[in-house]
Amino acid sequence: MSEKRKINEEKLESSKKTLLANQPDVYQDIQESNVNIDKVNDDNDEHEHSFENNDVKKNEEIHEEKIEEIKKKCKFKQEYVDNNVILSVNHLKQYFFFGKGTNRYKLKAVHDVSFQIHEGECFGLVGESGCGKTTTGRSIIRLYNITSGSIYYKGYRIGAGSRWNEKEIKYTKIRLKNKLKELAADLKNGKISQEEHDKEAASAKEYAENIIKVQKAKIKQIKHDNTHVDPKLMQEIQMIFQDPIDSLDPRMTVESIISEGLQIQGHHNRAENHKKVVEALEKVGLIEDYTNRYPHEFSGGQRQRIGIARALVMNPKFLICDEPISALDVSIRAQIINLLNDLKEEMGLSLLFIAHDLSVVKYFCDRIAVMYFGEMVELATSDELFKHPLHPYTKSLLSAIPKPNPLTEKNRVRITYNPQESHDYSVEKPRFVEILPGHWILANTPEIEKYKEEIKELDANSKSDH
């Protein structure tokens, strides 16, 4: 870790503490949720370079100014976290509820997902069908009101859910009720005196009231943040949707599909919009003549390009690509991947690339997160994940990749993943731990030991191979 970075981090930490001391209710969440993820960045080169390029003093001044700015503003100001991460997803939960009354049940599409994406980074999200990848992407662009957790873009909270806070209030009330009942029983049985009873009951009530007050303030802050998101900030996040057929309105021409976003943002100059549409089409390798045609008149690959052009016309800084190539044939896949790669370089985009196949993200993404059943099970850099695949689900995904050599392909053993057989979480629940620098895995203590042994074995094998 460079000297400059150390100084900068210390200063950043001390400013954060000042901030927390002044507004504990509002900023506690940020600190709590950043604890785990901050560690991921420790060994990230990009993080280090960005600090090296900047003057430490200048950074600190900017930081102080930002904090002062926040403090000056009214009580409910959109939350702000200062770090050089473009997108931060903290403990995201997205549940869907069905039915009514006793038939009401919930589906945990995404359950406690956290990750951070750095500027210019391509972050891959991989997992089987139905594991919650699209739901994560849709939650980021605010197509859903998220159930719990927070999403920060460029440090500003753009989405948050209050279910956890509501539950905390509910359970605090229940705990208080039980405590008071216990105290009343003790008093009745003569275990404690009236004076002791009153004193303990008063302190329990005060404790519960404080928790409720803090949680209510947090809920208010969440509601405020959800209703005061800067549209210009949201415009910077665009999504290429999974289905190139259904995501394009069949009754609209290509021009109106692509320029719709511009119009919603208040750009009503037809000539200018047309120019931007043509520019976007050209970027994705299509021509101006296509503007008056309808989606059904295009091939699958062309439709996918129209979807990309629709996202690009808004001049995004952050692009969510939801399986942009899985609906396409192999020859067009490479074209789209190359196109996205070029656009990434040209426009300085940061990407969240969703796929269900590890081979697709291997060369394209800097870091890869593996999801299973709404949870993140492993997170590492691309090279590290392929060097040390540890979680049985990651191994299963890797074993599914066909090998180009017919001889080795013949001997490929397909590993199936069965969570009941692979894990024993009856004694200890798993947690997301950093097993190697930048390599995170969902595991409990015995599993961590096992994985450490596996790493040693893999390293020894690779050395002997060389």
Ligand X SMILES: Nc1ncnc2c1ncn2[C@@H]1O[C@H](COP(=O)(O)OP(=O)(O)OP(=O)(O)O)[C@@H](O)[C@H]1O
Task: Pick one of Mg ion, ligand X, none as the site partner of residue 47 (Cβ within 5 to 8 A by kind).
Answer: none
Our CB check for Mg ion shows the closer of 44 and 238 to be: 238
Q: Whose Cβ is closer to ligand X: residue 124's or residue 127's?
A: 127
- Non-local CB neighbours of 105 within 8 Å, separated by 6+ positions: 97, 98, 99
Per CB under 6 A, the list member of 124, 132, 316, 392 interacting with ligand X is 132
CA-angle at 461, arms to 460 and 462, nearest 5°:
95
The footprint of ligand X on this chain (CB under 6 A) covers a number of residues equal to 13
> If binding is defined by CB under 5 A, does position 135 make contact with Mg ion?
no
Beta bridge partners of 370: 126, 378
242 binds ligand X (CB under 6 A): yes
Q: Compare residues 133 and 276 and give the one whose CB is closer to ligand X.
A: 133
Q: Stretches 123-131, 199-207, 226-234, 428-436: which one binds ligand X (CB under 6 A)?
A: 123-131
* Closest distance of CB 357 from Mg ion, Å: 13
Residue 350-379 contact track with ligand X, rule CB under 6 A, x = bound: ------x-----------------------
Q: Which is nearer to ligand X, 139 or 382 (CB)?
A: 139
Q: Which of 34, 134, 148, 221 binds Mg ion (CB under 5 A)?
A: 134
Smallest gap from residue 425 Cβ to ligand X (A): 22
Segment contacting Mg ion by CB under 5 A, of 132-140, 325-333, 387-395, 455-463: 132-140
Binding to ligand X by residue 99, rule CB under 6 A?
A: no
Per-residue tokens: 108? 């945990």
Give the separation between CA 50 and CA 14, rounded to whole angstroms: 20
User: Do 145 and 376 form a contact (C-beta atoms < 8 A)?
Assistant: no
Q: Which of 92, 109, 312, 379 binds ligand X (CB under 6 A)?
A: 109
Residue 129 near which of ligand X, Mg ion, none (CB within 5-8 Å, type-dependent): ligand X
Smallest separation, CB 247 to ligand X (Å): 13
Residues 6+ apart with CB under 8 A from 458: 387, 388
Which one, 221 or 242, has the nearer CB to Mg ion? 242
Least distance from ligand X to the Cβ atom of residue 114, Å: 17
* Count of other CB atoms within 10 angstroms of residue 111: 17
Candidate residues 86, 117, 131, 158; the one interacting with ligand X per rule CB under 6 A: 131
Which parts of this chain interact with ligand X (CB under 6 A)? 96, 107, 109, 127, 129-135, 242, 356
